[in-house]
Amino acid sequence: MFAPLLAYSPPPEPAPNVILMIADGCGYNSYAAGAMAEGRLGREIFNGRGWNTRAMSTYPLRTEKAPGGTGQQDPNLVYDPAKAWDKTDGYKWLTDTPTDSGASATVYSTGEKTYRHSICWSDLDKPMVNAYDRFQWAGKSVGVVTSVEWSDATPAAMIAHNRNREDHVEIAREMTETSQATVIMGACHPWFDGSGKRSATMGDASWVGNRDIFVKPMETWNGIRLIETKADFQALAEGKLDMKGCTRVIGTAQVAGGLQVNRATRDWNGDGKTDGEDNKAAPLFGDPRNTTVPELGTMATGALNLLSKNQKGFFLMVEGGAVDHANHFNWPSRSVEEALDFFRTVETVSGWIEKHGGWKRNLLIVTTDHECGFVLGPNSDKVPFEAIVDNGIGKTPGMRHNSGGHTNALVPVFARGAGAEQLKKFPTKHDPVRGDYIDNTDLGRLLRD
């Protein structure tokens, strides 16, 4: 007698195309605030059918800003639900033990934890194999798109290797000169202000490598197509841009800081002057939006169209980077606006996937690198962990920033497409509020392996 053959389930084929979308600094309550403001709490696209979701811890290896030489995890930083939700000491513990975008994005890019301020640099003082390295070795194309500086920590960690995220010039130069990344797009044009107006003198060009291409604008540089106008971004998204014989693009939108977050405000608090304090009082979309810059979704579409020319596949990271900026400054309405812009971009990318191979050929991951601003309810300085308040459609929810920095709070992760079910197969721990959670190294290893 022969034993019956057991059914064989082959391991899932890796997705030809991997798209990682990061809402920088957007914790659970920032996601909720955005959804409340448009009456879609629990009904955003990533809450729908076909999506896998988990909570996720984000703590770093160490909080020091340089290699320590040990490679050992600081046990005091490991997420602990009892410490995190303690009504007496929880606030302090969460704000004392966070990661930063460099360390967190490095985890997504390498699958391994490291110290804060690292850009794919190990605690043992060695460069780490990152997303760019792996996907290039596999013959795939690589791109990054962000609503903020394209050499900032999150996009940088997908391509570059550096001991310190603040070494903007060298990071920008590695991204544009050493690497062969197909797409690099973001903001922080040195000749424009936060409202997209041309400046009389050139501002900080370190974010773009201190290159003279912005003193004498050129259409191509080192075989790379350079774009900066809204019309050119739109043309790339529509497949109409004259590439001038180039196969790579660097796009720097004509605005300082972020696409929308640093635009001019009004005297909303009535103190006779306009400054950052007015952004704390401004209503949702109370200030006219910049009209001379592209939408993040337009930039993402252009990147996808260019990257998908590689039949072997691609990796694209899309960052809604200014949720973090707004939360650092404690600007509630701007934070919500940036979350909503990110949600629209997720919809745009999902629509592109459905028209280009579907979910069997594409893996889409939507997540956050860390929570920022310690966003809780309006009286959370007196009522520990008070929930934010839904004030209705078109209104900023009742919320309070309890910090100007990052926290060690859990963040959400959503995944759909080829391999997304692996998110549910990682070992978990349990949080009394967020439920079962994985660690960001699990997500990094999913992307890596």
Pair 402, 374: CB distance under 8 Å: yes
Identify whether 197 is part of a domain: yes
Query: Contact at 8 Å (CB) between 46 and 34?
Result: no
CB atoms within 10 A of CB 67: 18
Contact 151, 172 (CB under 8 A): yes
| Helix, strand or coil, per DSSP, at residue 312 | coil
Per-residue b/e over 262-300, b at no fewer than 16 CB within 10 Å? Answer: bbebeebbeeeeeeebbbbbbebbbbeebeebbbbbbbb
189-231: per-residue pLDDT in tens? 999 999 999 999 999 999 999 887 877 778 999 999 999 999 9
Q: Among 304, 245, 432, which residue's Cα sits nearest to residue 16?
A: 304
Cα-based torsion angle of the residue sequence 335, 341, 345, 351 in order, rounded to the nearest 10 degrees = 130
Residues whose CB is less than 8 angstroms from the CB of residue 189 and which lie 6 or more positions away in sequence, other chains included: 208, 214, 228, 252, 253, 254, 255, 256
Q: Which residues contact 342 (CB under 8 A, 6 or more apart)?
A: 21, 23, 26, 34, 296, 320, 323
Residue 399 burial (CB count, 10 A):
26
d(CA 292, CA 322): 18
| Residue 142 near residue 158, CB atoms below 8 Å | yes
Report the C-alpha gap between 279 and 286 in whole angstroms: 10
**Within a domain: 6:** no
pTM: 0.96
**What ranges in 199-331 are assigned the alpha helix state H?**
230-237, 276-281, 296-307, 322-328
The pLDDT of residue 14 is 64
Give the pLDDT score at 215: 76
Residues 372-385: tens digit of each pLDDT: 999 999 999 999 99
Task: Tell me if 241 sits within 8 A of 232, measured CB to CB.
Answer: yes
- How do the pLDDT tens digits run along the chain, 449 residues long? 334 444 434 445 667 999 999 999 999 999 999 999 999 999 999 999 999 999 999 999 999 999 999 999 999 999 999 999 999 999 999 999 999 999 999 999 999 999 999 999 999 999 999 999 999 999 999 999 999 999 999 999 999 999 999 999 999 999 999 999 999 999 999 999 999 999 999 999 999 998 878 777 789 999 999 999 999 999 999 999 999 999 999 999 999 999 999 999 999 999 999 999 999 999 999 999 999 999 999 999 999 999 999 999 999 999 999 999 999 999 999 999 999 999 999 999 999 999 999 999 999 999 999 999 999 999 999 999 999 999 999 999 999 999 999 999 999 999 999 999 999 999 999 999 999 999 999 999 999 88
Angle at 262 between CA 259 and CA 268, to 5 degrees: 135
The backbone region for 64, taken as left when phi is positive above 0, alpha when psi lies in -120 to 50, beta otherwise, is: beta
**For residue 212, what pLDDT is reported?**
79
* Residue 213: predicted pLDDT: 81
Q: Does residue 194 sit within a domain? A: yes
Domain presence at residue 373: yes
Q: In terms of Cα–Cα distance, which of 48, 138, 42, 32 is closest to 354?
A: 48
The confidence score (pLDDT) of residue 210 equals: 86
Find the angle CA(49)-CA(52)-CA(80) to the nearest 5 degrees: 140
**17 domain-assigned:** no
Structure tokens at 420: 């997304």
C-alpha to C-alpha distances, 67 to 109, 207, 245, 332, nearest whole angstrom: 18, 23, 42, 35
Q: What is the CATH number of the domain that holds 141?
A: 3.40.720.10
**Number of helices and strands in the chain (H, E):** 13, 16
- Report the distance separating Cα 368 and Cα 21, nearest Å: 8
Tell me whether residue 150 is in a domain.
Answer: yes
Q: Helix, strand or coil for residue 43?
A: coil
The Cα 5–Cα 2 span in angstroms is 9
31 alpha carbon, distance to own chain's centre: 13
pLDDT of residue 59: 99
Predicted confidence at residue 81, as pLDDT, reads 99
d(CA 324, CA 339): 10
**Average pLDDT value over all residues in the chain:** 95
pLDDT, residue 217, reads 79
User: Could you tell me the residue range of the domain that residue 115 belongs to?
Assistant: 22-448
Give the pair of three-digit tokens for residue 141: 């194309």
| H or E element, residue 143 | strand 141-149
pLDDT at res. 304: 99
Question: SS3 for 378?
Answer: coil
> What pLDDT does 218 receive?
86
Count how many domains the chain has: 1
Does the residue 11 lie in any domain?
Answer: no
**Both tokens of residue 227?**
């774009």
Q: Give which of 60, 79, 33 is closest to 395, Cα–Cα.
A: 33
What's residue 13's pLDDT?
61
In a domain, 364, yes or no: yes
